[in-house]
Structure 1
Amino acid sequence: MVQRLAVRENEKPETARKRFDGQLGVRAWTTPGTDGRTADQRDPKAPYWWDGDEDASQSFLTAMGVTLT
């Protein structure tokens, strides 16, 4: 099903998948080794692409070229 997602013009496939997950109300697909949080534990006011404060912080640090060891 993911292979048949409609990817908009100038859109990355990853963004299309996140948009689709948001439409389904799925925060993250459960796989072995994940924290197992469900869509019910997600803030209902958050946009589909928001993965939480930790992800936002890490994305910002990565974009700024900061590496923590």
Structure 2
Amino acid sequence: MFYIREVFILMSLLPLTAAAHVKWFVDYNTENRPASLLNMLQSMEFMGLLALATIVIFLTSVLDRKLASPVDVPEWQP
């Protein structure tokens, strides 16, 4: 069993910065200024992903209400 001291020692060995960056994996000119937040929020890609995430969360919540939970099914009770 680990003790608090050993946990802190192991945590101190972890790196504090990321070892990779997204710009390493895509073709991106680092001399360009980043896009503004307003431009990003108005982009069709962002709106599409926002709509998709909203639909998935809504459908998941509806499905969760329709499926029986262990509390509702007597055969699943201990």
Which TM-score band applies after superposition, normalised by the shorter structure? under 0.3
Q: Which has the higher contact order (CA 8 A, sep 6+)?
A: 1
The normalised TM-score by structure 2 is: 0.25
Higher helix share: 2
TM-score in terms of structure 1 length: 0.27
